[in-house]
Structure 1
Amino acid sequence: MPRRLTQTKPNTHQTLKNMSFESMVVSWLMYDGWQVFTPILDNGHQTDILISDGPNYFRIQIKTVEASGEDHLVENKWEESNVDYVIYFARNSTWGYIAPAFDNKKRPLNHPEHARFEANSRTQFLKEFHKID
């Protein structure tokens, strides 16, 4: 079995972990039948993935946070963009939240409009994703 014999720089390793969450969401949404598009560059548009059911398109941003609890405050960094949803993963835990774009400057992850899911469960993620407006 292959083994990685080189040291990965800490910032590079964190980027790889963050990208793994994006890949997981892409896989889950494709499994659910969505067309999934990834921008070559999302700088400025702040869109990690674009999904479509055919006639409709939705912009999604995927973020990881170091959360001390589910009431962790997240900042609205997408005010001037057209992001429809932000999917948050807690790096230091096994849960995440799906949030529709919001206007507040900050909001707790466990806000009533957000949907909680277990980060290791495609089924639960999709169930909660279907509930979001």
Structure 2
Amino acid sequence: MPKRKTVTRHGTLRTLKNVSYENQVTVWLMQDGWQVFRPVLDDGHSTDILISDGPNYFRVQVKTVDASNEQRFIENRWQESNVDVVVVFARDSNWGYVLPAFTEYRRKLNAQGHHKFTTNKREFLRAFHKV
């Protein structure tokens, strides 16, 4: 069996983990029938995933937070970018939130209109369809 015998640098490991969350959302949305597009480079555009049902397109931003507290604030890092939906995963836990993009500087993660899910396809899609 293959075994990785090298050390992955901290910054690289963080990037790999973040991309894995984006990939998970991509898979779940594809399995739900969405056309899914991934930007070659999203730096400065705040769009991790672009989805379409045919005539309509929506921009999705995927974020991660520490899993310690659902009452925490999430900062708006997509301001002035046209993002429609934000998916937030709790690192090192099994839950997340789907929320419409907001314009304030920050908002509580568990604010009204934000939909919690456990990290499985069924619960994610249930939350996603409520936004």
The TM-score normalised by the length of structure 2 is 0.96
Moved more, 28-37 or 9-18: 9-18
Structure 2 residues without counterparts, runs of 5 or longer: none
One-letter amino acid of the structure 2 residue matched with residue 129 of structure 1: F
Deviant stretches of 4+, over 4 Å: none
Task: Tell me the distance in 1 between the aligned counterparts of 2:76 and 2:11.
Answer: 24
The match for 1:88 is 88
Question: What are the Cα deviations for residues 104-133 of structure 1, in whole angstroms up to 9, with x where unaligned?
Answer: 2111110111110012x101100111111x
Give the C-alpha shift of residue 68 in structure 1: 2.5
Question: What are the Cα deviations for residues 81-119 of structure 1, in whole angstroms up to 9, with x where unaligned?
Answer: 100011101113211001101122111110111110012
The match for 2:64 is 64
Percent identity of paired positions between Structure 1 and Structure 2: 58
The match for 2:15 is 15
Alignment of 1:44-123 (within 5 A): 44-119=44-119, 121-123=120-122
SS class of match (1:96): strand
User: Does 2:6 correspond to 1:2?
Assistant: no
Question: What are the Cα deviations for residues 8-55 of structure 1, in whole angstroms up to 9, with x where unaligned?
Answer: 111111111111000000000000000000000111211000000000
Q: CA RMSD in A?
A: 0.9
SS class of match (2:129): helix
Task: Tell me the distance in 1 between the aligned counterparts of 2:33 and 2:60.
Answer: 16
User: Does 2:126 correspond to 1:131?
Assistant: no
SS class of match (1:64): strand
One-letter amino acid of the structure 2 residue matched with residue 56 of structure 1: N
The TM-score normalised by the length of structure 1 is 0.95
SS class of match (1:102): coil
Structure 1 residues without counterparts, runs of 5 or longer: none
Question: What are the Cα deviations for residues 54-80 of structure 1, in whole angstroms up to 9, with x where unaligned?
Answer: 000000010111142111100112221
